Amino acid sequence: MIWRYRLTLIILLLTFCLVVARLFYWQVVKASELSLLGQSQYGKIIKVLPQRGEIKTSDNFPIVANKISYLIFSNPKEIKDKNKISLLLSKILNTKESSMSAQLFLDRFWVPLKTGLTTKEKENIEKLSLPGIGFEKQFTRYYPEASMAAHLLGFVGKDEAGQDKGYFGIEGYYDRLLKGKGGIAVQIHDALGRPILSRTNQNSKETKGSNLILNINRSIQFIVEEKLKKGIEQYGASGGLVGVMDPKTGNILALSSFPAFSLLDFQDYEQRLYKNPFISNLYEPGSTFKPLVMSAALNSKLVTPQTKCPVCAGPISVSGFDIRTWNNKYFKDNNMVGIIQHSDNVGMVFVAQKLGVDKMVSYLSAFGIGDLTGIDLQGEVSQPLPPKDSWYPVDLATKGFGQGISITAIELLSATSAIANKGVRMEPHVVGAVEDPNGKISKIPPKVLGKPISQETAKIMTEILVNAVNKGEASWAKIPGYRIAGKTGTASIPVKGRYDVNQTIASFIGFAPADNPKFVMVVILDRPTASIYGAETAAPIFFDIARDLMLYFGIAPSE
Amino acid sequence: MFLIIALSLMRVIVSNNLSTAGITLLKLENRLNSYKIENTNLRERLLNFTSLSYISSESSQLGFVKNKTNFTLTKPLPLAIKQ
């Protein structure tokens, strides 16, 4: 009898082991697979679309925000009277009936019909209770200040996979921070399809992108854009740029360029307009480059402000090339102050020759010329300085007055800011802080790029530039009572290897107040027709903006 | 024994209530969503009204003109004291 009991026990134990093994297989080995299968039966997976981070100006105003819009889609298999519905929808959505009809006759379960519908439009269509028509909530970019700072901001387009992607400017540079992470939520329902629980597995905070707080001052940007537009029109220029920077921190306060594009309808504009000319276009700076070369010579103690120019009595010949002043006027024994005041090309040839190639290259590199400034915008370019052994004497001479060298406007702004900031060059920066989805703000600290000149040299150069404003060609436009340091520039445009004297880049760079600068600003006009000279076109725009900025900053006249 | 019966009954009651809570939750979520949408739309309008381009165009329509004179009551301190 005992063997029977034992046999039964063994059978029971084996059966128990089998059950345990099977349970282990389903509950451990196949657990995740079954869980997914279960979810697909009782739940519906909902894609949580990422909400892109906002871009705010320094006053916390969202210059780029998100608004809710809707994608209208259809399930053609559920629509019986396709002709009637395509006619109805084409009228409401303001699209061609033929294209709407073509979409509805597709043999698919899901066909997108139109994006960017407003809440009101969506509600109007919903009232019609059309079969096979649905909506998907989306976030699209919204620009409360319309196309202000279009080049600076960039835009959001689609990538190869149809996902939102930032292009150009801040949208392009900070795309990874701005774009949220797409999430998934599961809507659980019962056997009849009624929802049991609202949602599970959702973490909406993870899906949102970070906000960016810019150093851009909305009021200054607005002033700059208004004045620049007016100036371009007034002087018949084909375009123009203005950049305003705080020399002490490198914060970009305003950056504007025209012609620009509409941020909402960017696809309707030529692609060449997407590039920000302030950081992507190279140009010959002309006389606005002279303060950099003069600072280098002063800092090297090769000249002093009182050093007389022994070759300034007439044109100078370098390697067979005759170099003249811009107005063919010559000042015998002109000193360094006079050379900058009269924007004397011959005098600058003397300074450049004193400096020599080695020191010229070394100082220009320290000023950041020929290198990227590191500004946090997509699309910055630079043209490296030629190697020292490939500099001919005429190259040294012409580069001394800003010809034969190509730089970007941001390079010039960044280099000149060193003169305004006691010889210290700061990295230009557009974004001041990043606000993560939890509301934590991380500030981006100012970064020192180097000290190309001493504080003493910067002070001397500032006085030379104040003198240039007070007594130079642009003195008629200056603001009475304020000490402003600045320099005009008129550079001929090289066309097919020759300089076209009638087509110029007119510019003015300066900073104010000279003793404690609040801003350094550059104004550049492309091919002005009312006058080809910087002193008659770019300079008045500079002073017009500076006047408003003095009021804005509450700076009282000092003289 | 009494405790087991009481707890079982309570479970039945709670389960019964929870089984229909999903619909209520969905209604609440829909209300929340509609408020969120309304909030976003109102914020959009607010941003429109507070944009400088709107204020500028409205002010010029209302006849406001720009102050072109710079009048100051105080002078900056001398440079030596400033440093």
Domain limits for position A355: 218-260+276-552
Helix ranges (DSSP H) in A43-109: 82-93, 97-104
Is A552 within 8 Å of A234 (Cβ atoms)? no
DSSP per-residue letters across A491-552: EEEEETTEEEEEEEEEEEEEEESTTS-SEEEEEEEES-SS-S-GGGTHHHHHHHHHHHHHHH
Q: Which residues of A touch B79 (CB under 8 A)?
A: 515
Is residue A15 in some structural domain?
Answer: no
For the segment A38-67, the average pLDDT, to the nearest whole number, is: 82
Distance between CA atoms of residues A380 and A276, nearest Å: 8
Distance between CA atoms of residues A287 and B28, nearest Å: 68
Is A197 within 8 Å of B22 (Cβ atoms)? yes
With 0-12 / 13-18 / 19 or more C-beta atoms within 10 angstroms meaning exposed / middle / buried, residue A440 is exposed
With 0-12 / 13-18 / 19 or more C-beta atoms within 10 angstroms meaning exposed / middle / buried, residue A92 is middle
Q: What are phi and psi of A39, to 5 degrees?
A: -60, -40
Q: Which of A117, A141, A165 is the last residue of a domain?
A: A141
Tokens 């001397």 sit on residue:
A460
pTM over 0.90: no
Q: What is the pLDDT of residue A350?
A: 92
Looking at every residue in chain A, the average pLDDT score rounds to 88
Q: What pLDDT, in 10s, does the model give residues A297-307?
A: 999 999 999 99
Question: Closest to A515 (Cβ–Cβ): which among B23, B37, B79?
Answer: B79
Q: How many CB atoms lie within 10 A of CB A19?
A: 10
Q: Which residues of A touch B44 (CB under 8 A)?
A: 65, 67, 142, 144
SS3 A433: strand
Q: What is the pLDDT of residue A79?
A: 83
Contact B25 A198 (CB under 8 A): yes
For the segment A539-546, the average pLDDT, to the nearest whole number, is: 94
For the segment A323-333, the average pLDDT, to the nearest whole number, is: 83
Q: What are phi and psi of A498, to 5 degrees?
A: -130, 155
Question: Closest to B37 (Cβ–Cβ): which among A65, A119, A144?
Answer: A119
Tokens 């004497």 sit on residue:
A393
Q: Which of A99, A122, A141 is the last residue of a domain?
A: A141
SS3 A555: coil
Whether the CB of A111 is below 8 Å from some CB of chain B: the reply is no
SS3 A361: helix
A323 and A367 co-located in one domain:
yes
For the segment A199-208, the average pLDDT, to the nearest whole number, is: 56
Q: What are phi and psi of A472, to 5 degrees?
A: -80, -165
Those of residues 10-39 in B touching chain A at CB distance below 8 A are 19, 22-23, 25-26, 28-29, 37
Contact B25 A146 (CB under 8 A): no
Q: What pLDDT, in 10s, does the model give residues A121-137?
A: 888 888 888 888 888 88
A46 and A159 co-located in one domain:
yes
Q: What are phi and psi of A309, to 5 degrees?
A: -90, 115
A531 and A511 co-located in one domain:
yes
Q: Above 0.85 for ipTM, yes or no?
A: no
State the DSSP code for A439.
S
From residue A447, alpha-carbon distances to A250, A428, B25 in Å are 8, 8, 51
For the segment A347-355, the average pLDDT, to the nearest whole number, is: 92
Q: What pLDDT, in 10s, does the model give residues A490-525?
A: 988 877 777 777 788 999 999 989 999 999 999 999
Least confident segment among A187-196, A349-358, A375-384, A531-540: A187-196
pLDDT higher than 60, residue B80: yes
Contact B53 A61 (CB under 8 A): no
Q: What pLDDT, in 10s, does the model give residues A68-83?
A: 888 888 888 888 888 8
Is residue A387 in some structural domain?
Answer: yes
CA nearest to A231, candidates A551, A523, A546: A523
Q: What is the CATH number of the domain that holds A105?
A: 3.90.1310.10
Nearest residue of chain A to residue B51 (CA atoms): A145
Question: Closest to A557 (Cβ–Cβ): which among B47, B50, B72?
Answer: B72
Distance between CA atoms of residues A447 and A425, nearest Å: 9
Q: How confident is the model at residue A45 (pLDDT cuts 50, 70, 90)?
A: low
Distance between CA atoms of residues A149 and A145, nearest Å: 9
pLDDT higher than 50, residue A213: yes
Contact B70 A550 (CB under 8 A): yes
A410 and A519 co-located in one domain:
yes
Those of residues 35-54 in B touching chain A at CB distance below 8 A are 37, 40-41, 43-44, 47-48, 50-53
From residue B10, alpha-carbon distances to A187, A206, B14, B16, B19 in Å are 27, 38, 6, 10, 14
Q: What is the pLDDT of residue A193?
A: 60
A474 and A344 co-located in one domain:
yes
Question: Closest to B23 (Cβ–Cβ): which among A62, A195, A218?
Answer: A195
Q: What is the CATH number of the domain that holds A504?
A: 3.40.710.10
Q: What is the pLDDT of residue B67?
A: 73
Least confident segment among A171-180, A350-359, B67-76: B67-76
Q: What are phi and psi of A262, to 5 degrees?
A: -85, 130
Q: How many CB atoms lie within 10 A of CB B65?
A: 7
**Which tokens go with A52?**
């892109």
A53 and A196 co-located in one domain:
yes
pLDDT higher than 60, residue A416: yes
Q: Which residues of A touch B74 (CB under 8 A)?
A: 556
Q: What is the pLDDT of residue A151?
A: 92
Q: What is the pLDDT of residue A48?
A: 66
**In the A/B pair of chains, how many CB contacts fall below 8 A?**
68
Is residue A22 in some structural domain?
Answer: no
Q: How confident is the model at residue B83 (pLDDT cuts 50, 70, 90)?
A: very low
Least confident segment among A34-48, A387-401, B55-69: A34-48
Q: Which residues of B touch A62 (CB under 8 A)?
A: 47
Q: Which of A94, A121, A141 is the last residue of a domain?
A: A141
A232 and A175 co-located in one domain:
no
In percent, the amount of chain A with pLDDT more than 90 equals 54
Q: Which residue did the predictor score with more confidence, A236 or B23? A: A236
Q: How many CB atoms lie within 10 A of CB A375?
A: 26
Distance between CA atoms of residues A222 and A239, nearest Å: 18
Is residue A559 in some structural domain?
Answer: no
pLDDT higher than 90, residue B51: yes
Widest CA span in chain B:
94
How many domains does chain A contain in total? 3
A296 and A381 co-located in one domain:
yes
pLDDT higher than 80, residue A335: yes
pLDDT higher than 50, residue A203: no
**Which tokens go with A44?**
């519906």
A424 and A478 co-located in one domain:
yes
* Residues in chain B, total: 83
A184: left (phi over 0), alpha (psi -120 to 50) or beta: beta
CA nearest to A529, candidates A519, A537, A539, A521: A537
Q: What is the pLDDT of residue A334?
A: 87
Q: How confident is the model at residue A328 (pLDDT cuts 50, 70, 90)?
A: confident
Is residue A148 in some structural domain?
Answer: yes
**Which tokens go with A108?**
């698919």
Tokens 């992470």 sit on residue:
A181
Nearest residue of chain A to residue B18 (CA atoms): A196
Q: What pLDDT, in 10s, does the model give residues A176-196?
A: 999 887 766 666 666 666 555
A496 and A392 co-located in one domain:
yes
Is A334 within 8 Å of A342 (Cβ atoms)? yes
Is residue A539 in some structural domain?
Answer: yes
A434 and A367 co-located in one domain:
yes
Q: How confident is the model at residue B79 (pLDDT cuts 50, 70, 90)?
A: low
pLDDT higher than 90, residue A91: no
Q: What pLDDT, in 10s, does the model give residues A244-268?
A: 999 999 999 999 999 999 888 888 8
A207 and A299 co-located in one domain:
no
**Which tokens go with A252?**
């970009």
Is A489 within 8 Å of A285 (Cβ atoms)? yes
Distance between CA atoms of residues A398 and A400, nearest Å: 5
Is residue A267 in some structural domain?
Answer: no
In percent, the amount of chain A with pLDDT more than 70 equals 94
Distance between CA atoms of residues A553 and B76, nearest Å: 13
Distance between CA atoms of residues A295 and A303, nearest Å: 10
Is residue A12 in some structural domain?
Answer: no
